[in-house]
A and B are shown apart, each in its own frame.
Chain A
């Protein structure tokens, strides 16, 4: 962490955030991350005294949607302010410097905070050809390796950085891979989503500042506190699923009554994220609440996991062609077996030797 400058608490006070508001944020963060209430003072103390942590943000094959999600809110929230108050030493979309000066800022931050800075990555890394995506003439792969070497931890923000995302969708022309495919010797925390929920980032940041490490992760490298439950399990439309009440189209009676969107292709049952609980835009809504099924954007390979508007139980492969061809082959094989059986029967009949009473008499 950078040791100079004001603490986060000082900055928040300058911005007009009361101590009461600050503690409320700490309590919300603790409950969101499933920490006991006794941890609230610890979070508050850690955040109050923390110097602005140095963050280097690298953007590779991405659309800037993640940055938009994390930096733009209608009204400045405490989590937004905390995010603003990290020492974002390098972010080529947000920083004023450009060219050599920008790269110098990154190198200076790496040198001054060696071993302590957080590296945030959005976007996937192309392995196909180094020229597919470069920054200041440096390939994404080289920049990631160089910057990750001195980082305390790496946070892969967005589905592209976490799992490859859209750049890695078939046929993956650039050979895109996620951060975790390259960085093996550092803790890599995935915050998937297209884009991810902002509060997850600040929650992870608060955890890092309070405990000096990353929160508990699941098998896919996601913080369990936010990605532990499926959208379906937390969905307010779940009772309709259980009752068998479904919208059949986007404008039918069921859709107007807010029934379950399973039949319209909702991927809520196989998507693990906090959308249904934390929601978006300061808790206003989330996709299902606005009438559209979940796309499953925070899951690995979501882009290639079948059509968005087909129910989860529907087939997505070339079933009809395969069954048609197999049925034709079955008929042909059946006819062949029938003919063989017939000829075996005829052969047996032809080979049948009749025995007369006289023959039997002679043998005696």
Chain B
């Protein structure tokens, strides 16, 4: 199998299989989570915090007072990674073409150099948070196999994409095939690991904010 044939498989059947598993998994888990439900809260809600759930969706993106100083790597690394990753994912023109091919939607992209910087920043941030996870005893204690797996699965698409774009390590065709395959691996793992937070993060923030609000706790 030549590199082009591998790429053709990755763009064709490979992508169809990965997206199918991803869609299956996301819907399965959403149904599972939502159908579990909660016991009705029979107590009268406190009146001090209306709209607490919606507010929490945004406020949880900001560090509580003092925490930025105490764990700068977690916060700054987290920001740089997520913003860099989002810019790379949504504003690299070939990625927009992929979305257009799937859904018909498209929007203007960014110049390649800007995306390049964003990708490098995201990769560096990933290594910074990994170093922090390994050196901080509390983080290390809290980390399991799945955390390291999620880290690796997130790194691979960024790294292979970067190498493909710059034509290093292997020729572009092979690197592009590996890039697409690494994304497919990420898609397959997404519903069944902590990476599911990409789907559930705002739902759980709303829920936490709302329930705390009902109990009168600031959020």
In angstroms, Cα B109 to Cα A230, docked, is: 24
A223 is an interface residue with CB less than 8 A from chain B: no
B36 is an interface residue with CB less than 8 A from chain A: yes
Count residues of B near A (Cβ-Cβ below 8 Å). Answer: 46
Q: A314-B101, A323-B20 are contacts. A338–B35 as well, Cβ < 8 Å? A: yes
Q: In the complex, are the beta carbons of A233 and B167 less than 8 A apart?
A: yes
Q: A315-B12, A330-B28 are contacts. A323–B23 as well, Cβ < 8 Å? A: yes
Within B168-214, the residues touching A (CB, 8 Å) are: 171-173, 176
Most chain A CB atoms below 10 A, which of B3, B7, B14, B28 = B28
- On chain B, the residues within 8 Å of A220 by CB distance are 2
A311-332 vs B: 1/0 string, CB under 8 Å?
Answer: 1111111111111011101110
Q: In the complex, are the beta carbons of B35 and A311 less than 8 A apart?
A: no
Q: In the complex, are the beta carbons of B31 and A301 less than 8 A apart?
A: no
Within A320-364, the residues touching B (CB, 8 Å) are: 320-323, 325-327, 329-331, 333-335, 337-338, 341-342
Q: In the complex, are the beta carbons of B27 and A334 less than 8 A apart?
A: yes
Within B6-53, the residues touching A (CB, 8 Å) are: 7-8, 11-17, 19-21, 23-32, 35-36
In angstroms, Cα B12 to Cα A25, docked, is: 45
Q: A270-B172, A311-B101 are contacts. A304–B23 as well, Cβ < 8 Å? A: no
A251 is an interface residue with CB less than 8 A from chain B: no
Task: Provide the main secondary structure of the chain A interface.
Answer: helix
- Looking across the interface, which residue of chain A has its beta carbon closest to that of B30? A334
- Looking across the interface, which residue of chain A has its beta carbon closest to that of B95? A313
B67 is an interface residue with CB less than 8 A from chain A: no
Q: In the complex, are the beta carbons of A232 and B172 less than 8 A apart?
A: yes
- On chain B, the residues within 8 Å of A330 by CB distance are 23-28, 31
CB distance from A215 to the nearest CB of B (A): 19
Q: Which of A44-52, A85-93, A138-146, A240-248 contacts its partner?
A: A240-248
CB distance from A33 to the nearest CB of B (A): 20
- Looking across the interface, which residue of chain A has its beta carbon closest to that of B110? A244
**Which of B4, B25, B31 meets A300, CB within 8 Å?**
B4
**Which of B15, B20, B32, B172 meets A338, CB within 8 Å?**
B32
Q: In the complex, are the beta carbons of B31 and A244 less than 8 A apart?
A: no
B135 is an interface residue with CB less than 8 A from chain A: no
- On chain A, the residues within 8 Å of B136 by CB distance are none
A60 is an interface residue with CB less than 8 A from chain B: no
Q: In the complex, are the beta carbons of A334 and B95 less than 8 A apart?
A: no
In angstroms, Cα B109 to Cα A338, docked, is: 41
Q: A326-B23, A334-B28 are contacts. A305–B17 as well, Cβ < 8 Å? A: no
CB distance from A71 to the nearest CB of B (A): 29
A187 is an interface residue with CB less than 8 A from chain B: no
Which range holds the interface residue count of chain A?
A: 35 or more
Q: In the complex, are the beta carbons of B11 and A301 less than 8 A apart?
A: no
A269 is an interface residue with CB less than 8 A from chain B: yes
B66 is an interface residue with CB less than 8 A from chain A: no
Q: In the complex, are the beta carbons of A322 and B17 less than 8 A apart?
A: yes
Q: In the complex, are the beta carbons of B8 and A316 less than 8 A apart?
A: yes
- Looking across the interface, which residue of chain B has its beta carbon closest to that of A305? B8
Q: A241-B112, A270-B172, A311-B94 are contacts. A302–B4 as well, Cβ < 8 Å? A: yes
- On chain B, the residues within 8 Å of A311 by CB distance are 94, 97, 101
Q: In the complex, are the beta carbons of B173 and A270 less than 8 A apart?
A: yes
Q: In the complex, are the beta carbons of B101 and A310 less than 8 A apart?
A: yes
- On chain A, the residues within 8 Å of B30 by CB distance are 334
Q: In the complex, are the beta carbons of A301 and B4 less than 8 A apart?
A: yes
Q: In the complex, are the beta carbons of B112 and A325 less than 8 A apart?
A: no
In angstroms, Cα B23 to Cα A319, docked, is: 11
Q: In the complex, are the beta carbons of B109 and A244 less than 8 A apart?
A: yes
Most chain B CB atoms below 10 A, which of A263, A302, A311, A313 = A313
CB distance from B105 to the nearest CB of A (A): 13
Apart from A300-B4, A315-B98, A333-B27: 16 A-B pairs, beta carbons within 8 A: A269-B172, A269-B176, A270-B4, A270-B172, A313-B98, A317-B11, A317-B15, A319-B15, A320-B102, A323-B16, A327-B27, A330-B23, A330-B24, A330-B28, A338-B36, A341-B35
Q: List 7 A-B contacts (CB under 8 A).
A: A232-B172, A262-B93, A270-B7, A310-B101, A316-B12, A322-B17, A330-B26
Chain A residues packing against B (C-beta within 8 Å): 220, 230, 232-233, 241-244, 246, 262-263, 269-270, 272, 296, 299-302, 304-306, 310-323, 325-327, 329-331, 333-335, 337-338, 341-342
Q: Shortest 7 CB-CB distances between A and B: which pairs?
A: A334-B31, A330-B27, A338-B35, A314-B101, A317-B12, A326-B20, A313-B94
